[in-house]
Amino acid sequence: MANINSGGIDSNTYDAIVIGSGITGGWAAKELCEKGLKTLVIERGRMVEHIKDYPTANLNPWEFKHRNILPLKDREENPILSKCYAYEESTAHFFAKDNYHPYVQKRPFNWIKGYQVGGKSLTWARWTQRWGVIDFEANAKEGIAVDWPIRYNDLAPWYSYVEQFAGISGNRDGLPQIPDGEFLPPMDMNCIETHLQKSLASSYKDRHLVISRTANLSQALSGRGPCQYRNLCFRGCPFGGYFSSNSTTIPAAERTGNLSMITHAVVHSVIYDESKQKAKGVRVIDALTNEATEYFAKVIFINGSTLNSTLLLLNSTSSRFPNGMGNDSNELGHNLMDHNYNGRITGEYDGYEDQYYAGRKPTGSYLARFRNFGNDKQTDFLRGYAYACNGFREINKAEGVNIGSDLKNTLSEPGLWKMALVSMGECLPSHQNKISLSKDKVDRWGIPLLEIDAAFGDNENNMMMDILKSGAEMLDKAGFKNIKTLDTKDAMGLGIHEMGTARMGLSSKTSVLNKNNQVWGAENVFVTDGACMTSGSCQNPSLTYMALTARAANFAVEQLKKNNL
């Protein structure tokens, strides 16, 4: 850390520092700024301004040089990213490149990163089911890992709070596993989705297909949207039709006049004040010049995305915390989770030839969890799974069609209705699934490389067998034909729902964060991104991160007012 440019302590001092500007950093910045705190957001990547910096947002398919297929050279240079469903010619600029940001895979793990203002909130899938009562109780009931220090009721008002601001479309379905929230009108299901919904309702008591709750605006909200049903969200939306930090929370923070932001700024470590027993600031390295600078604040929010937030804590050592900040429990870095998206079930349906759809729905249908829930009890695995379901009419099936005008005419018309199910399986927290710092390899800023050592275990693998069997059975009962199942057997990471590694808990002896997301032993440091998760549920996690962040930020402001931080 040579050449520290302190710039004078006063000019580098803020009320609050937020590390990262993705889905949780944006929320932390908004809440802290709106409560009057002078807040510095530190982003490691480049600026991405809403609309202005969405270069592909209005391009037609034929306007991409490679028609949205990435060149071989790019795929070879980015073997991990190339496995990501959203990494395409139209979106490649929103993903951090493999070769520039290496990490060590002790066991195969696909780490997908978005290093820019807005982070992965630009490219997320926007599915936003609440977590249910069972999700926060499961660890305690089953004796897995440690208990969550909060319950659903602690979070419920904050779910409502973030839903109303973010704008979540959905239907009030009355399902306890995905509690209802403050929804904008739901988007339509198409006829094959409705068909499956009805079939499930008549064949089973516990199987419910609903329209996914989604952070796309079915109505205009606070000058944003409405959604134009282009389904090009991953490119950034010129209509502000979906929630991202760029479109929503960062502009709100800016409007307060309290926001400062630096970009190309990699946080090296959090500085611990041994005498005051709290953090006093952060060491930052300019990503372009490698110049180091320190910034100071009363409260620090770490929102660097799960793996980077924990990397930062691990790299923040002091006499008080020789093994990483908040690591009295030695659990820091452990209990890495993801969701298991490897299960795929498809089927074709003969019928509804006289029906179609118009517009491009930026979401799908959600088959809510039914395993180990209600009266269901499985012996082969704990927890459960949901399915992301998508019904559509096939357009590129050319098998058995003669070339020439027959082929052209066939492919110019929609084919059979098809249903595609993708699994979202809960992953148990395991101490063996862990991340740590490399002892001998560093990145281009001198920060130790992250080593990832994790894999799905027996519970996830047993669950996958049931996922495929049950999915095929449900499609069969609904009259689908040519049903196919597939376990892609991809390594962890491609769910891009990495969670855990700095879990919340009831005690500093067994967890890293307390019930308010404060770091044990450095209570003015908060971690509110996926790193904090104590278990994984099977619901998409981002909405829960948002609620936890808003809750923690408001708690931090209260404590600051009481001089408790």
Query: Using the rule CB under 8 A, which residue among 153, 275, 276, 413 binds other proteins?
Result: 413
Nearer to other proteins, 223 or 404 (CB): 404
Query: Using the rule CB under 8 A, which residue among 193, 338, 466, 529 binds other proteins?
Result: 193
| Contacts (Cβ under 8 Å, ≥6 apart) of 520 | 326, 328, 329, 508, 511, 512, 513, 514
Kindly provide the residue ranges of all beta strands, DSSP E only, lying in 140-277, ordered along the sequence: 168-169, 183-184, 209-211, 259-262, 265-273
Token pair for 41: 């957001």
Residues 287 to 346 in contact with other proteins, rule: CB under 8 A: 341, 344
DSSP character for 23?
Answer: H
Nearer to other proteins, 205 or 360 (CB): 360
Residues 349 to 408 in contact with other proteins, rule: CB under 8 A: 353-362, 364, 388-390, 392-393, 395-396, 398-400, 402-405, 407-408
Q: What are phi and psi of 294, to 5 degrees?
A: -110, 140
| Span from 170-178, 227-235, 465-473, 518-526 in contact with other proteins (CB under 8 A) | 227-235
Nearer to other proteins, 12 or 78 (CB): 78
Query: Using the rule CB under 8 A, which residue among 23, 40, 155, 191 binds other proteins?
Result: 191
CA dist 178 and 194 (Å) reads 19
Nearer to other proteins, 43 or 193 (CB): 193
Residues 126 to 145 in contact with other proteins, rule: CB under 8 A: 127
> How buried is 522 (Cβ within 10 angstroms: 0-12 exposed, 13-18 middle, 19+ buried)?
buried
Nearer to other proteins, 113 or 344 (CB): 344
Length of the chain: 565
Count of Cβ atoms closer than 10 Å to residue 360 Cβ: 11
DSSP character for 233?
Answer: G
| Span from 189-197, 317-325, 441-449, 451-459 in contact with other proteins (CB under 8 A) | 189-197
| Span from 15-23, 83-91, 95-103, 263-271 in contact with other proteins (CB under 8 A) | 83-91
Token pair for 6: 């302190």
For residue 313, CA distances in Å to 287, 308, 436 come to 19, 9, 11
Q: What would the x/- binding string for other proteins be over residues 231 to 270, using CB under 8 A?
A: x--x------------------------------------
Residues 472 to 531 in contact with other proteins, rule: CB under 8 A: 488, 494
CA dihedral 547, 338, 342, 424 (to 10 degrees): -30
Closest distance between other proteins and the C-beta of residue 246, in Å?
A: 19
Q: What would the x/- binding string for other proteins be over residues 32 to 61, using CB under 8 A?
A: --------------------------x-xx
Nearer to other proteins, 355 or 485 (CB): 355
At residue 157's C-alpha, the angle toward residues 141 and 536, to 5°, is 40
Nearer to other proteins, 288 or 407 (CB): 407
Nearer to other proteins, 275 or 402 (CB): 402
At residue 214's C-alpha, the angle toward residues 336 and 366, to 5°, is 75
| Span from 78-86, 144-152, 331-339, 553-561 in contact with other proteins (CB under 8 A) | 78-86
Nearer to other proteins, 429 or 530 (CB): 530
CA dist 327 and 559 (Å) reads 23
Query: Using the rule CB under 8 A, which residue among 38, 47, 82, 140 binds other proteins?
Result: 82
Closest distance between other proteins and the C-beta of residue 353, in Å?
A: 7
Closest CA to 503 of 272, 321, 333, 312: 333
Closest distance between other proteins and the C-beta of residue 422, in Å?
A: 5
Which strands, in side-by-side order, build the sheet including 104-105? 104-105, 448-453, 434-442
What is the secondary structure of 546-559 as a DSSP string?
HHHHHHHHHHHHHH
Closest distance between other proteins and the C-beta of residue 403, in Å?
A: 5
Closest distance between other proteins and the C-beta of residue 361, in Å?
A: 5
Contacts of residues 440-448 at CB distance under 8 Å and 24 or more positions apart, as own/partner, are: 441/102, 441/104, 443/101, 443/102, 444/100, 444/290, 445/266, 445/268, 445/285, 445/287, 445/290, 446/268, 446/285, 446/290, 447/266, 447/268, 447/285, 447/311, 447/315, 448/311, 448/314, 448/315
Closest distance between other proteins and the C-beta of residue 181, in Å?
A: 21
Nearer to other proteins, 44 or 344 (CB): 344
SS3 104: strand
Closest distance between other proteins and the C-beta of residue 337, in Å?
A: 18
DSSP character for 141?
Answer: H
**184 touches other proteins by CB under 8 A:** no
| Span from 68-76, 100-108, 267-275, 510-518 in contact with other proteins (CB under 8 A) | 68-76
Closest distance between other proteins and the C-beta of residue 535, in Å?
A: 22
| Span from 63-71, 131-139, 314-322, 429-437 in contact with other proteins (CB under 8 A) | 63-71
Closest distance between other proteins and the C-beta of residue 503, in Å?
A: 26
Nearer to other proteins, 277 or 409 (CB): 409
Query: Using the rule CB under 8 A, which residue among 3, 10, 11, 73 binds other proteins?
Result: 73
Query: Using the rule CB under 8 A, which residue among 1, 5, 55, 66 binds other proteins?
Result: 66
Token pair for 8: 């004078």
Q: Beta partners for 344?
A: 422, 486
Query: Using the rule CB under 8 A, which residue among 210, 307, 422, 522 binds other proteins?
Result: 422
Closest distance between other proteins and the C-beta of residue 425, in Å?
A: 14
Closest CA to 167 of 238, 102, 225: 225
Token pair for 321: 């915390």
Dmax of the chain from CA atoms? 81
**Count of residues interacting with other proteins (CB under 8 A):** 71
